[in-house]
Structure 1
Amino acid sequence: MESPFEIVDSRFRRYALGNVFIEKLHTGMRWAEGPVWFGDGGHLIWSDIPNNRMMRWVEGGGVSVFRSPSNFTNGNTRDRQGRLVSCEHGARRVTRTEYDGSITVLADSHKGRRLNSPNDVVVKSDGSIWFTDPPYGILTDYEGHKSEIEQDGCHVYRIDPESGQVAVAAGDFDKPNGIAFSPDERMLYVADTGASHRDDGPHHIRAFTVSESGILSGGEVFATIEPGLADGFRLDTDGNIWTSAGDGVHCFSPNGDLLGKVRVPEVVSNLAFGGPKRNRLFITATTSLYSVYVGAVGAGRF
């Protein structure tokens, strides 16, 4: 069987394991997104946005529906207590699923106006929650509910861990999308996928320096994705970014060099590290959920 790895830089050889292959774990979605690994439960949860549901995969136990309807949930992560945090296109909000299954609204507005359609989310070690808010969920009725934009743009927001106040962290994006911290949390990476609706739109990842008080600076282009978009991405413990692209998953070094690719037969939307050793890459790609083992370990607690 042909290797799924394409080595662009020799440094990628340590991550491109021999004798591994892409596994298709499930198919039948309309647009799979937002994978998040629950190591303590041994399962993966992800979104099937147009079908308005969330799915769960268990090793040896197959796939089941986790939540339906899901308010057209897109991106998911876990907070420092292990609770599920989700971005809901349909309700235009960020929520937390409590241990008992009840749902707490973390953010649904800014300055008295409804958010656009929160897309992806990450939680910092201080408990602050950072999310992107492009308009994808309100442009049509396919991934949410067609509605007017109430905000003055598409921004990156920060939810304060103490007060719960929602504030703009970065306001110079076309369509902010994927978001993740470096392992030491000194850098915040945010994708801009404006090329989805404009031929000359951005299709890159930007890198911001994060101050101790949570203020962002910089924001230079870290890497441009070709082909496709950096819809969602994660980092490994070496600081490499593994991001979605049109031809699979692209791996970039901490200084922005393209190291290699994981070829996937469908357009990739997002990914997450999981498995007992966090060395298994779970990939949501259009209609299917795939996985592949790599020589990298995902950053993060879970």
Structure 2
Amino acid sequence: MQDGVEIPLLAVRNLRTYFHTFSGTVRAVNDVSFEIGEGEVMGLVGESGGGKSVVGFSILGLIDSPGKIEGGEILLGGRDLVTAGEDHLRKVRGREISMIFQDPMTSLNPLHTVGRQMDEVLRLHSNLDASARHKACIEMLESVGISHAAERLKAYPHQFSGGMRQRVVIAIALLAGPRLIIADEPTTALDVTIQSQILKLMRRQIASKGASMILITHDLAVVSEMADHITVLYCGNVVERGCTRDLIETPAHPYTRGLIDSIPDTTERLDRLSQIPGSVPDIRNLPAGCNFRDRCPRAQALCAEKEPVLTPQHGSLMAACHFPLKPGDRA
């Protein structure tokens, strides 16, 4: 609370992260803004290449050359992480903010046991002695559904199945009690049955720890079950945001409508699944006006002349569209 105004846990304001390559500048994240409060889950949704993961890496200060955060603010509890030094960011990573990556095999070190990797987190971010750290690691593995936890601490990542490895990654992310967890496509590499188990596990763990989460995914069906509100990205820009119910039931942006319609309906027999026509444009050479206009069924001349900006729509929704959908519109 500051001057009577509640400060969000995380506020991203006008974030711009660009990659300067030999073939041109890639505006991977271009003027992105959103907020997430204590105990909230926010879904960050869009097709591959939309900038979702780059937002997550930007928050943690993990943008490598030729990438660079060109502007904007990333305020964690009111403090800007963009201008914070590397020493401060090292303290934030793992302790204040943790990240669950897409593929657990790339985030777990194959040369070290699971126990050693878990112990390192507590050694860096807690004052516990070795015995207390060992006990905490066992309890955390048990809490994510791994039996015989004391023995499994001695195992290496390759000795776990894909679903078990993802449980280990979740356990490591939660171990130091972070205030915010960034989950980057956490179930993409898993089969459907295991996906459901992992999502339920994450939902339980987030609620029990009182943490907040940014769930990065291309799957609106997944995010609709987990998130309190959703931000939709397209070509590095926010095209729509709002509370989950409003956005799923009555989206205002045609792109969001297309993503929702692409979800297979198991109650209907269809000859052909719905899809958004065309493909995402080359982000190095975006079209003038609205980036989505070449794929949009509602596009008109104005869409090629003027870039739309986020404006209030029905309910809680904000959308960047010259000809937004109204409740009841299909396209």
Fold similarity call, TM over 0.5: no
* Larger proportion of helix: 2
- The structure having more radius of gyration, on CA atoms, is 2
TM, length-normalised to structure 1? 0.28
User: Comparing both chains, which one has the higher relative contact order based on Cα–Cα distances under 8 Å and sequence gaps of 6 or more?
Assistant: 2
* Larger proportion of strand: 1
TM, length-normalised to structure 2? 0.27
